[in-house]
Amino acid sequence: MCVATCLNKANLTTEMIAKSGRFSVAVLELEVPMTFIGQFGFKSGRDIDKFSNVKYSLAEAGTPLIEEWSVAAFDAKVSKTVEMPSHMLFIGEVQESVCFKEAPLLTYSDYHKIKKGKSPKTAPTFGFNALK
């Protein structure tokens, strides 16, 4: 099984994935508060410790698997990197997965429609903010 993530080249996380060849993905539950999403999506790891006060465990390879507000998490080994003008697309083969609980999942549509969330300027989906 493969998963993918697309990140701005300027993000610290992008540098960390490129260097380590690994990344993790958290599948968030619908009830996750926007403050939790904001801690990871709207702040830089250069300025704060994103994992302080967050419940997580480490995969065998050492990647963090966020347990708080997560239904499941995946650890992936990068198998392909696609460079784009402002972003990097990392495609990874899942090496480890864990299911924490059963709960309704937060979809990207829910994030925008229910949570009224916006994409930060560095997100590949920033242009979608203008769509109604």
33-89: per-residue pLDDT in tens? 988 988 887 777 898 888 998 999 999 999 999 999 999 999 999 999 999 998 999
What would the pLDDT profile of 8-39 be if each residue is shown by its tens digit?
Answer: 899 999 999 999 999 999 999 999 998 898 88
Residue 130: its pLDDT value, please?
53
pLDDT tens digit sequence for 116-125 = 655 555 555 5
Return d(Cα 29, Cα 49) in angstroms, integer. Answer: 22
Where residue 92 falls (left for φ over 0; alpha for ψ -120 to 50; beta otherwise) is: beta
Is the Cα torsion angle 57, 60, 64, 67 positive or negative in sign? Answer: negative
- Amino acid at the residue 93: E
